[in-house]
Amino acid sequence: MNDFTVQDLWAKAAAHLQEKLHPDVYSRWIAVIVPDSLSGDDLGLRVDNNFYQSWLEDNYLPIIRDALAAVSGKTFKITFKVAPPSAPSLSMDRTASTDSPDALARRRATPPRSVGRRPAAGFETNLNRRYTFEEFIVGPSNHFSHAAALAVSQSPGRAYNPLFIYGGSGLGKTHLIQAIGHSVLKMNRLKVAYLSCETFLNEYIDAIQNKSHHAFRNKYRNIDLLLIDDIHFLAGKQGIQEEFFHTFNALSDAHKQIVLSSDRPPSDLKGVDERLVTRFNWGLVTEVQPPEFETRLAILRYKKEQAQIHVNDQVIEFIAQSVRSNIRSLEGALTRVASYASLKGRDLSIPELENLLRDILEKEHEKDLTFDLIMRTVADHFDIRLTDMTSKRRPQAVSGPRQVAMYLCRTLTSSSLPEIASAFGKTHATILHAYHAIEKRMAADPTLKQDVSRISHALDRRD
């Protein structure tokens, strides 16, 4: 679908920018950009350091986007990367044709081959037969991770080592990791081990109890592909971290592939040794994001076909529209609707659907910020009691944070002033006053601004 290469595209856009921008600005900020990758609507640009990246993102992104649109007629999603150049083996084209949900749904499986245990490997792999690349639906939210996983499965130990996939629960991390295992097993006779972090931990504990360290070590240091799920469980467990560290080194020294999944990026792994975190960052770290509407639709249609469920498009669309956070609940919702529909012998109306799926929908709603959560986070941050948030006490140490909490409730939620007021046991004028007061103080007091930004980040990061 791309009739030009990334170099062509960028050359045209750069020429356009050169006309528009002052030569000084052009040579300082635009000429230093190196085109890097192009995939569908995603354009990767490379710059020398992260200051270029942040300055360009803050100041020139819209201009660059406009220039690209002017020369190509398309709006690109631009991401800046800081050098070094990416490994060439990442086959992005494979995922480039992800435009319509139908196309996604059509790219469906040859039925999953039974990839069981390989006697040759002599290793229990525990792979779920359903989790193959063929079964994986690719959309913009996960195509980068998918491409990386494919690259790894094609040349284990060489493409990206380790590959670190992170994302929320139910977004397909386990699926991708296991798909690598399947694909590698299918192609060559490598020893593959897939296990969850917890299994690894339990085996380690067994090894300690039975004094069979040696066997444990040999087992994991002599495999070709190690897939570990939910690596964040390592947090705070010193002994196993030590063991894993040595396993990791042994494998990576021998150029064996390691693939890890986690619910957060390596840098956010609290209670994990710095030396492990830096090692996780060695290879490629990629994120799986929640699927967007089209991908959700494609997943549902694919599932529908697979399971021979008969529901109409309106129902499918309703589910795709209302269940957003993860694929697991998406599938759950479809199954429930299908079984209900088959009982009733007809399709369901939207009000019926809403009623049937209300618990899932409510959960989706809970994802939104609650006042309670904001108060709790603010109280934690300032080291005051949660009860002080709603108390009538007014010493400065309490009233300041309380105003911050009111400010955050007002800015981060869409609730009305009276709603917030009743949560704090105050009048709406108090809330409004707090909002303005904090806004004003933030302008003058960088410490407060930092506090507020730190709390907002904490609220963003919550699970």
Partner 1 sequence: MKISLTKEKFLNGLQLVNGVVGSRTTLPILSNLLLKGEQNKIWLTATDLELSIRASVEAEVQEPGVTTLPARRLLNVIRELPSDNFTLEIDEKNNAAISCGSAYFKILGLAADEFPVLPQLTGGYSYTIDRMVFKDMLQKTAYAASADEMRYILNGNLLSFKGEKLVVVTTDGRRLALAEQEVEFPKEAEADVVVPTKTVMELMRALQGEGPMKIHVVDKQVAFEFGDILLVSKLIEGQYPNYRQVIPGQCEQRVAIDREILLNAIRRVSILASDKATAVKLTFGKNKLTVAVSSPDVGEAHESLPIKYTGKETTVSFNGEFLMDPLRNLANDEIFFEIIDELSPGVMKCDSAFIYVIMPMRVN
Least gap, CB of 227 to partner 1 (angstroms): 31
Strand partners, 42: 39, 77
Q: Is the CB of residue 77 less than 8 Å from the CB of residue 28? A: no
4, 28, 239, 313: residue in contact with partner 1 (rule CB under 8 A): 28
414, 446, 461, 462: residue in contact with partner 1 (rule CB under 8 A): 446
**3 binds partner 1 per the rule CB under 8 A:** no
C-beta of 169 vs 450, nearer to partner 1: 450
**253 binds partner 1 per the rule CB under 8 A:** no
Least gap, CB of 133 to partner 1 (angstroms): 34
12, 18, 55, 317: residue in contact with partner 1 (rule CB under 8 A): 55
Q: Is the CB of residue 286 less than 8 Å from the CB of residue 256? A: no
> Residue 312 corresponds to which amino acid?
N
**449 binds partner 1 per the rule CB under 8 A:** yes
Sheet holding 163-167, edge to edge: 192-196, 225-229, 257-262, 163-167, 284-288
d(CA 68, CA 133): 33
Token pair for residue 326? 């993860």
Q: Which stretch binds partner 1 (CB under 8 A): 262-270, 275-283, 288-296, 441-449?
A: 441-449
Instruction: Give the angle subtended at the CA of 42 by the CAs of 36 and 47, to the nearest 5°.
Output: 35
Q: Which stretch binds partner 1 (CB under 8 A): 35-43, 226-234, 242-250, 378-386?
A: 378-386
Residues in CB range of 154: below 8 A, 6 or more apart: 89, 91, 183, 187
DSSP per-residue string spanning 179-239: HHHHHHHHHS---EEEEEHHHHHHHHHHHHHTT-HHHHHHHHHT-SEEEEE-GGGGTT-HH
5, 7, 59, 416: residue in contact with partner 1 (rule CB under 8 A): 59
Strand partners, 399: none
63, 207, 235, 437: residue in contact with partner 1 (rule CB under 8 A): 63
**20 binds partner 1 per the rule CB under 8 A:** yes
Q: Which stretch binds partner 1 (CB under 8 A): 21-29, 99-107, 123-131, 338-346?
A: 21-29
Q: Is the CB of residue 112 less than 8 Å from the CB of residue 56? A: no
**460 binds partner 1 per the rule CB under 8 A:** no
d(CA 180, CA 447): 47
C-beta of 59 vs 427, nearer to partner 1: 59
C-beta of 50 vs 335, nearer to partner 1: 50
> To which residue do tokens 């406009």 refer?
66
d(CA 288, CA 304): 23
Q: Is the CB of residue 65 less than 8 Å from the CB of residue 259? A: no
Q: Which stretch binds partner 1 (CB under 8 A): 71-79, 249-257, 311-319, 380-388?
A: 380-388
C-beta of 328 vs 436, nearer to partner 1: 436
d(CA 81, CA 97): 23
15, 120, 254, 443: residue in contact with partner 1 (rule CB under 8 A): 443
**426 binds partner 1 per the rule CB under 8 A:** no
Q: Is the CB of residue 177 less than 8 Å from the CB of residue 165? A: yes
49, 267, 278, 321: residue in contact with partner 1 (rule CB under 8 A): 49
Q: Which stretch binds partner 1 (CB under 8 A): 169-177, 211-219, 269-277, 449-457?
A: 449-457
118, 217, 264, 381: residue in contact with partner 1 (rule CB under 8 A): 381
Least gap, CB of 434 to partner 1 (angstroms): 17
Least gap, CB of 49 to partner 1 (angstroms): 7
Token pair for residue 79? 């991401």
Pairing mode of beta strands 163-167, 77-82: unpaired
Per-residue contact flags (x/-) with partner 1 for residues 96 to 135, judged by CB under 8 A = ----------------------------------------
Residues in CB range of 190: below 8 A, 6 or more apart: 121, 156, 184, 224, 225
Least gap, CB of 401 to partner 1 (angstroms): 9
Reduced to 3 states (helix: H, G, I; strand: E, B; else coil), residue 43 is: strand
Least gap, CB of 268 to partner 1 (angstroms): 12
Contacts with partner 1, residue ranges (CB under 8 A): 20-22, 24-25, 28, 49-52, 54-55, 58-59, 62-63, 381-383, 397, 443, 446-447, 449-450, 453-454, 457
